[in-house]
Amino acid sequence: MNIKINGKESAIESTQVSVAEVLKANGVQTVEMVTVQLNGAFIAKEQLESTLLKENDQVDFLYFMGGGSI
Amino acid sequence: MNFTEEQIERYSRHLILQNVGVEGQQRIMEGKVLVVGAGGLGSPVALYLAAAGVGTIGLIDGDVVDRTNLQRQVIHFTADLNVPKVESAANKIKLINPEVKVNTYKTLLMPDNAFEIINDYDFIIDGTDNFPTKFMVNDACVMAQKPFSHGGILRFEGQTMTYVPGSACYRCVFGGPPPKDAVPSCSQAGVLGSIAGMLGTIQATEALKYLVGTGDLLTNRMLIFDALKMKFREVNFTPNKNCKLCGEHPEIKTLEMEEMPACDLH
């Protein structure tokens, strides 16, 4: 299955893969650290485990970044 | 407004810019920008806005200059140790450009003073260092319909987006503050000093573009860079209908701030 992760083409061998699994495989230690879009729409954290990906899906994730002042 | 000889000289590189010119410079000089946090991001923002001739710059920060700040907070000098950051920053602004009016607030932006302060400004810069305040700045700006620039940096990375009324807000993207300790802060994980300059200058540019009324703002998209690889990427989005603040069924009606983690309180 071919999907796009943060804009990059990525081939996945398994056909049953959840958004959460893809995040983990891409170095996201906990889903609390990121916000995730599936095909351009934000997806609730509770749905990351249960949402399975299909061909040509696009996953984008953004880390929280808080620094600035101190 | 008639420019003096000195002003024509000082701002000549803006005046000859097609997208700025006399009118744009005039708008900059009439503009009022509030910089929340006179630290890593606030330093380059305040320096460039002052040099550009922004009419009024507001600085809000409750801290004094600490030795650990000097590696990246370039508006503060070694001689400013223990001086309130707003005072140190205001002094440098005056040295760069005596024409700028500076308002200093040596305090933290809180729900009880936020509206009173931000209402006096055209554009707000979020240069804060903790999530409860970042979300509170967002909520206050969305409620008061004030445009603002979000900025975040960590290690070798930075992210920024601009909000204008009607565009996706910071809460549309991130929902709410992450659980305590789920995300490290700069004081826990470190940050390359120049990253603050890279991100802060983008924020200053957004403020100037907004004041001039030119170009495309970073609305409905997040610009992210990884300076180790020196790659920039953009994530596009639209306002989130499930946003608790500006979505279809808003739950947040009053300005509040979630509890500040103790480790970020210094």
Residue ranges of chain A whose CB lies within 8 Å of a chain B CB: 6-7, 30, 32-33, 35, 37, 40, 42, 44, 60, 62-70
Domains of chain A in start order, with CATH, are 2-63 (3.10.20.30)
> What's this model's pTM, rounded to 2 decimal places?
0.94
- The residue with greater pLDDT, A69 or B139, is B139
The answer to whether A69 contacts B39, with C-beta atoms less than 8 Å apart, is yes
The whole-number pLDDT of residue A70 equals 47
Taking the CA of residue B178 and the nearest CA in chain A, the distance in Å comes to 6
Here the ipTM equals: 0.89
Summarised one tens digit per residue, pLDDT across range A10-36 is 999 888 999 999 999 999 999 999 999
Fold of domain B14-264: Rossmann fold (3.40.50)
Question: What are the DSSP calls for chain B, one per residue?
Answer: -PPPHHHHHHTHHHHTSTTTHHHHHHHHHH-EEEEE-SSTTHHHHHHHHHHHT-SEEEEE---B--GGGTTT-TTS-GGGTTSBHHHHHHHHHHHH-TT-EEEEE-S---TTTHHHHHTT-SEEEE--SSHHHHHHHHHHHHHTT--EEEEEEEBTEEEEEEE-TTSPPHHHHH-SPPPTTSS--HHHH-B-HHHHHHHHHHHHHHHHHHHHT-S--STTEEEEEETTTTEEEEEE----TT-TTTSSS----S---PPPPGGG--
Q: State chain B's mean pLDDT as an integer.
A: 95
Domain residue spans in chain B? 14-264
Which residues from B are below 8 Å from A42, CB to CB? 172-173, 175, 237, 240, 242
